[in-house]
Chain A
């Protein structure tokens, strides 16, 4: 298939929810745009050769911080979202130096425990976090032109902007020297150290960026849904994000995007069959691990390449 078809598909996916006027459709599309930065944030840690299960915790920190700032202190929601992102980044900078010293399974376990600790805190402290009942009545973001653009459209557009920015940053990062340095650290750390590279500081920086993305997407999520509870930022979200990465493909920035576009609506469709969700995940993962390790995005690339060679 020629390249422009993919652009058309992308454009259609953006325009269709706006034109359909169906609120449920728009809701799902907005969730996709909020979860794409999350999937990208886990993808960023995968690029360091590390699988972080702490991303939902960073998202939770962003969500609770921005919600509480608006509800209790009346901070403008834009600043609150930013503050939530920064607090998540700060958390990553504090725990990063400890976590990033270890590799592989140990890193996964450490980030898992961190996510659990953060989540238990949300559950335990009824003030200010509302405990297991969560926080409700988060005031929606007020925006200019409220009578022209409906609330749902606004959040979808906000999510799109968020997705576009994170996608742009990830692409820039991929092609920049810092992306090269992170890949190099992953490929041959001994060599980088011998060349004088402070490997740990690079890893912390990338980890902090991933936390910033997660924190901001958490803030947007909080205002969009208007209700947050610890449950939304639990281990299940990590699993969802990993599946998005695997299904889409981890080696390209578009992989997690594609993964989110497929998996998030699928989760909604399977909402009634929640008990089968893990089974479906298991089969999906098995299939992709065995037959398509580079994810769906590799099939798209292959299609593009065949086309450009085939027609020549």
Chain B
């Protein structure tokens, strides 16, 4: 579904990503982990179009999307959520979702004039139910707790009905019970919405429990790729990242 080949990104002399290569299968939950500064976020930003790659190729469903701008990538069926909270603070949850849909549908003024009437049939109810926003619909987003705000971020990405969802640290800053439900949510997104997921995360228990396959990056280089069990036992990973007596929760 998503294929990344020899992707590199340099910032001056610093090589943030070096020859990264992996591919994500349809309906897979694919995790990327690594120590701080390993280049995970850079990799993520290159795939989502914020940075242009220095070398390499990204293809999505057979289409070359290398170096496209982030809005084009967004329109090609790749959604993304952010590490921090991104939303419209003064609008209610309901308005946020509606705005997200309108912004996506009317992506430029010409599209605004041409497709006035056709509104996509978005399963707002299903999305709210899955993400757990049903009881917060009329609350102003800025007044929600951090965890719910992050869920709203996910819901807004879902409104554009992406085929692939890039999630940047979806559980960073959440409390243990929120983390648990976020883990369940990620599974549900795959199982019920049929969305393929690529996530970058620090939280080992979550990554190990939800991901089908994991890529470990260290100092910009891929050092291991495999199922959670394989990664846990991988000598390089233990050296570079996890440490001898890492507890997986």
Contacts and interface: CB of A to CB of B under 8 A. Distances in A.
- Asked if A and B are interacting partners, one says yes
For the complex, would chain A's binding face be called helix, strand, loop or mixed by DSSP majority? helix
A197 B86 contact: no
Nearest to B166: A194
Nearest to A208: B109
Interface string A166-188: 00000000000110110010011
A194 B82 contact: yes
Contact of B82 (A190, A192, A196): A190
Contact of A196 (B86, B87, B107): B107
Interface string A184-208: 1001101111111111011001000
Contact of A178 (B79, B104, B112): B112
B223 interface: no
A197 B112 contact: no
Interface in B83-118: 86-89, 99-100, 102-104, 106-110, 112
Interface size class of A (residues with CB under 8 A): 20 to 34
Given A194-B48, A196-B75, A199-B71, A177 B106 contact: yes
B109 A202 contact: yes
B71 A188 contact: no
Contacts of B163: none
A8 to B, nearest CB: 33
Interface of B: 48, 69-72, 74-75, 79-80, 82, 86-89, 99-100, 102-104, 106-110, 112, 156-157, 160
The 7 closest A-B pairs by CB, nearest first: A196-B74, A196-B75, A205-B109, A201-B108, A191-B86, A198-B108, A193-B70
15 contacts: A180-B99, A181-B102, A181-B106, A184-B88, A187-B89, A188-B86, A191-B82, A191-B87, A192-B71, A194-B70, A194-B80, A194-B82, A194-B86, A196-B104, A196-B107
